[in-house]
Structure 1
Amino acid sequence: MKVLSKLICAAALFCAPFSAMAWGTNGHRISGEIASHYLTPKAKAAVKAILGDESIAMASNWADFIKSDDNYRYLYNWHFIDFDKSYTLPEMKAFLEKDTDVDAYTKLNFMIAELKKKTTTKENKLLYLRMIIHVVEDMHQPMHTGHKDDKGGNDVKLSWFGKPTNLHSLWDSELIDFQQLSYTEYAAAVNHTTPAQVAEWQKAPISQWLYESNQLAEKIYAEAKPDSNLSYKYNFNNIATLNEQLLKGGVRLAGVLNAIFGS
């Protein structure tokens, strides 16, 4: 009975939705791969000095993988920030100015400042760089700016081609995996920018990123009703938005790293 009980508990833990899982493994790697194409030589050298042979794409999932280690449980709230309504840009800026919670916004700003310091230890540089990579990408997954009461869409149950899932998972991985591309193929397929786009996206403050994601999250909530059975039409209507968020996440991540390590 004890063995059966342990198996049931393990299965329940495995199946439980995590509101802090953003993009899926492929989604994070796609944005990480894109970011690597926009680094300055100085930033590229600095990143390699910290990550070694680990690429940005591969480092991007460390923050999710490490959830298996209780010593890193404190990082849980760093992955997301909750918004329970649609914010205007001025409202978003005012909200963030007063934000003192442990969330993606406050901790990203903290880590950027820490990584700029010459006194930051080698161990913490590795931690902060891996987390910055992941959190910047998380902010571009719209459901990471979703509603607290439904765990960023985890409690919004629906079906994807007849298979039970939830709204958060749909945007984490279901839509991305449906394209049937490796992360390198996907990055190559969507990584088409103009210098003007890159400049505009990298110039935007973090408040702008969160405003954009918040607006998209509210649209996603409105269009995907609970118990819906979504399939080809949903993919057709939303894949361009998803691709742009993956692309923006990569371009802006490179902008952050370039600013930290100097251009």
Structure 2
Amino acid sequence: MHAHSESGPYLCRLKIVIQMKSIYSKILILAFMASSLYSYAWGLTGHRVIAEIAENHLSRKARREIKKMMGRERLAYWANWPDFIKSDTTGVWKQASSWHYVNIDPMADFKAFDQNLKAQAGPSLYTQVNTLSSQIKDKNTSEKDRKIALIFLIHIMGDLAQPLHVGRAEDLGGNKINVTYFGEKTNLHSVWDGKLVDSQKYSYTEYATLLDIKSKEEVAQIQSGTLEDWLYDSHKIANKIYAQTPNDSKLSFDYQYKFNDTMERQLLYGGLRLAKVLNELF
């Protein structure tokens, strides 16, 4: 009777533990879903492709100065760090979440786009490219902070080339546009972050080598223009993506065929333009 009387409280405690684990699991799932919005532009491979192409086009001086800051690690090693720290739970990097994108409604022309861009208070991808560049140039910035600024600059210049990071606030850059990709439920932003790139099955070094084949004259043309020009370039492509990918689209080989050239263009342009920014900094 004594043993039987203890089973009641034991079972009760067991049920509470199971319920708490279930609640905790649901909280973790919700937290993950919330943190996934505006996450991981280009994914691991895309950012590394851009960084690798940029490294191939560094001037001798820029290469030398960056080596002093980064050691022997290549740019691609650090290219995804600003996304990795989104998992940090201390709140130290919370303010950096808005640095990865800039929201712009469809604009009729560059003049309207430029005015809207400069009217935004920030911080955003646009403001931070300039802010981080200034920090790197400033001799009073500590070595640690200069390195962090450089790592963020490498990353968000890659974000700039992902068209949906110059997308629309109403759908969080395509995060709220539901699609299927080869039958898998996902969203438009995720397709452009990584799925299109990963579908090609290249390593980042392979992809960088395959894409980085432009002549010096072509490279100079791609690197011409201002930061605002480059953002408008991505913005125009984002508008085409929106127009051709409505909610509930079923995407597969035809979508790859339609947009693969655009995706590869953006990886290449992102790398070459990052190289220009770094060469001008150093």
Same fold (TM over 0.5): yes
Residue deviations 1:190-235 (CA, integer Å, cap 9, x gap): 1111212221222210101110111111100110111111100110
Of 45, 52, 62 in structure 2, the residue corresponding to residue 43 of structure 1 is 62
Percent of paired sites with the same residue: 37
Kindly provide the amino acid, as one letter, of the partner of residue 115 in structure 1.
I
Cα 1:107–1:12 shift into 2, 3 Å = same
Report SS of the residue matched to 2:112. helix
The aligned residue for residue 262 of structure 2 is 241
Report SS of the residue matched to 2:56. coil
Matched, 1:59 2:67: no
* Cα distance, 1:93 vs structure 2: 2.1
Q: Is the 8 A contact 1:87 1:211 kept in 2?
A: no
The aligned residue for residue 145 of structure 1 is 166
Of 125, 128, 131 in structure 1, the residue corresponding to residue 152 of structure 2 is 131
Kindly provide the amino acid, as one letter, of the partner of residue 113 in structure 2.
M
Q: Is the 8 A contact 1:80 1:103 kept in 2?
A: yes
Cα 1:209–1:20 shift into 2, 3 Å = farther
* Cα distance, 1:20 vs structure 2: 4.2
Alignment of 1:72-83 (within 5 A): 72-83=93-104
Of 13, 31, 36 in structure 2, the residue corresponding to residue 13 of structure 1 is 31
| Ranges in structure 2 where 5+ consecutive residues have no aligned partner | 1-18
Kindly provide the amino acid, as one letter, of the partner of residue 198 in structure 1.
V
Distance 1:211 1:222 in 2: 17
* Cα distance, 1:98 vs structure 2: 2.7
Which fold has the larger relative contact order, with Cα–Cα distance below 8 Å and residues 6 or more apart in sequence? Answer: 1
* Cα distance, 1:19 vs structure 2: 1.3
* Cα distance, 1:58 vs structure 2: 1.4
For this pair of structures, how many residues does the alignment match? 261
Q: Is the 8 A contact 1:20 1:80 kept in 2?
A: no
Distance 1:13 1:232 in 2: 33
Q: CA RMSD in A?
A: 1.2
Cα 1:79–1:40 shift into 2, 3 Å = same
Residue deviations 1:69-116 (CA, integer Å, cap 9, x gap): 221111000000001213411122222333322100011111111111
Distance 2:271 2:65 in 1: 17
The alignment's TM-score, normalised by the length of structure 1, stands at: 0.96
Kindly provide the amino acid, as one letter, of the partner of residue 104 in structure 1.
L
Cα 1:29–1:154 shift into 2, 3 Å = same
Q: Is the 8 A contact 1:137 1:250 kept in 2?
A: yes
The alignment's TM-score, normalised by the length of structure 2, stands at: 0.90
The aligned residue for residue 155 of structure 1 is 176
| Ranges in structure 1 where 5+ consecutive residues have no aligned partner | none
